Amino acid sequence: MRYAAPATVEEAQALLADDTGAQVFAGATDLVPQMRAGRPAPSLLVDLKGIDRLTAVTHEDGRWTIGAATPTAELTRNEAFTAAFPGLSEGAGLIGSDQIQNRSSLGGNLANASPAADSVPALIANDGQAVIATADGTRTVPAAEVATGPGRTSLADGEFIVEFTFADPPAGTGDAYLRMIPRTEMDIAIVGAAVRVTVDGDAISDATVVLGAVAPTAVVVPDAAAALVGTSVADGALDDAAATALAEAAEAACDPIDDKRGTIAYRRRVAGVLARRAAAIAVERARNGA
Amino acid sequence: MSNDATRRSRTHVSCTVNGDQVDFLADDGTSLLDALRDELDLTGAKEGCGTGDCGACTILVDGRINCSCLMFAPEAEGCEIVTVEGIAEGDHLHPLQQTFLEGAALQCGVCTPGFLVSAKALLDENPDPTETEIRYALAGNLCRCTGYDKIVRSVQEAAVQLRGASR
Ligand SMILES: Cc1cc2nc3c(=O)[nH]c(=O)nc-3n(C[C@H](O)[C@H](O)[C@H](O)COP(=O)(O)OP(=O)(O)OC[C@H]3O[C@@H](n4cnc5c(N)ncnc54)[C@H](O)[C@@H]3O)c2cc1C
Ligand code: FES
Ligand code: FES
């Protein structure tokens, strides 16, 4: 196994084109455990962290750009980013321990394609766009289109994610991410729920609800969002009927697995509860920010 | 494209370890943990799991805690590495090392180097952490022997001593 640390996107593209057995990595917090578990090692390890663009965090002209290999600790420590996307910062900040946080990246979390990846629901809820380096250029797709199933992505051989971009959230917007784990730290989500809402006057004018760990990929739940849009938050809180409809829609969207950490019925039930709680936090944030 | 580093499978790595400039050769796929232990004879960091779960291999890389079992040795190029061997001042144990000894914060000791490095990183950044902050900061370090309480108490005691010393 060889190691290379290209300094530019173009150099990385060339290395990947030369060697079909090459694999990119950022924190290797998924890669190393998988190799240890017996997954075949790549012939060439392409370390993306040496490329400035892959670890740059910028905010310009109403858009945030987050290098795909940026350690998630850099996002949770970034106050302006966290103020703009508190739910995404929360999700990213739940990945592993402090040791893991200093290595783990949004690109790796998404491309590893675990249904339980903690940053992914809020990445999607905030309409994150993935800029992907192709064989000879770049293409941009919604982050929601990258993972296609457990361990599977829409990335072609040799493609990698360069960065994620996000438009500044409209005024009166808040997001939140909650997950359920059997322990209090260092565990894999049984259910994750990200909700983003925009409040205009006394009513919710826009919403996105995304669930993690309850289907082969993170799922966007338009019915749950529709249950929120148009409802009043005049009392400072979510309308009861809207919250119930949201929870029911979230439960209905689940297609979970049964395993030792949670049964199907339990995951469904928790998905509804977490969606509701995350929505309440998002509303509170939207009103405070507005 | 000709990129020498990609043609060879042994890479020359140049970095600082515990303040000293060091150079070593390592197989590209070797973990930094193995390189520290086998090439540099720094056997403080331990391998408990090799998969990022236990923290026994914790080191500082440019001031931040990292699992050296998850790093490939060539990634250390140009970095400032600190291992548990680097936290004492000569013969003078770091207050954390002293309070761990006095507070019986270790039994078998396999986890201790990792706990010391994580705790030092915490106290360097936050000299007066709450118990909850300490427990979260040490969540990436597992101990099969002590039950954690004595570790947490020892970190609290070291924090008190360090604050006293800096006053
Ligand atoms: C102890 C421990 C605890 C963990 N806890 C959590 C948790 O609570 N929640 C959670 O979601 N995850 C958790 N993880 C998993 C892991 O840390 C995250 O998925 C992390 O975000 C992966 O990022 P990385 O940069 O380390 O990925 P890597 O391991 O570097 O890469 C992962 C995969 O993605 C590919 N890849 C990486 N970057 C790119 C890119 N830019 N473009 C295309 N492909 C790319 C790699 O080829 C590889 O297949 C944990 C891992 C460990 C070891
Ligand atoms: S040996 Fe590195 S975390 Fe366990
Ligand atoms: S003292 Fe034995 S693992 Fe901690």
Kindly calculate the radius of gyration of chain B based on its CA atoms and give it in whole angstroms: 17
Given A167, A197, A232, the domain boundary residue is A167
CATH of the domain at A270: 3.30.390.50
Output the six-digit token pair for A238: 């979510």
- Say yes or no: CB of residue B45 within 6 Å of ligand 2: no
pTM for this predicted structure: 0.96
Distance CA B120, CA B97 (A): 10
- Please tell me whether residues A142 and A185 are part of one structural domain: no
Q: Which residue of B has its CA nearest to A10?
A: B1
> By C-alpha distance, which of A58, A89, A63 is closest to A167?
A63
- Which residues in A lie closer than 8 A to residue B125 (C-beta atoms)? none
- Please tell me whether residues A211 and A251 are part of one structural domain: yes
Q: What is the pLDDT along chain A (290 residues), one digit of tens a residue?
A: 999 999 999 999 999 999 999 999 999 999 999 999 999 999 999 999 999 999 999 999 999 999 999 999 999 999 999 999 999 999 999 999 999 999 999 999 999 999 999 999 999 999 999 999 999 899 999 999 999 999 999 999 999 999 999 999 999 999 999 999 887 766 788 999 999 999 999 999 999 999 999 999 999 999 999 999 999 999 888 999 999 999 999 999 999 888 888 899 999 999 999 999 999 999 999 998 74
- Please tell me whether residues A163 and A118 are part of one structural domain: yes
Domain boundaries, chain B: 3-86, 95-165
- Please tell me whether residues A148 and A177 are part of one structural domain: no
Polymer length of chain A = 290
- Please tell me whether residues A160 and A183 are part of one structural domain: no
Given A112, A132, A167, the domain boundary residue is A167
Amino acid letter for position A248: E
- Which residues in B lie closer than 8 A to residue A3 (C-beta atoms)? 5-6, 11, 28-29, 72, 74-75
Greatest pairwise CA separation for chain B in angstroms: 58
The packing angle between helices B112-125 and B149-166, to 10°, is: 40
A266 is in which domain, residue-wise?
A: 173-288
How many structural domains is chain A composed of?
2
- Please tell me whether residues A20 and A117 are part of one structural domain: yes
- Please tell me whether residues A179 and A130 are part of one structural domain: no
The CATH architecture annotation of domain B3-86 reads Roll (3.10)
**Are the Cβ atoms of A2 and B9 closer than 8 angstroms?**
yes
Answer yes or no: is pLDDT of B5 > 50. no
Given A118, A146, A167, the domain boundary residue is A167
**Are the Cβ atoms of B70 and A15 closer than 8 angstroms?**
no
Q: Across-strand partners of A203?
A: A200, A232
- Please tell me whether residues A156 and A225 are part of one structural domain: no
Are B3-86 and B95-165 the same fold in CATH? Answer: no
Q: Which CATH class is domain B95-165?
A: mainly alpha
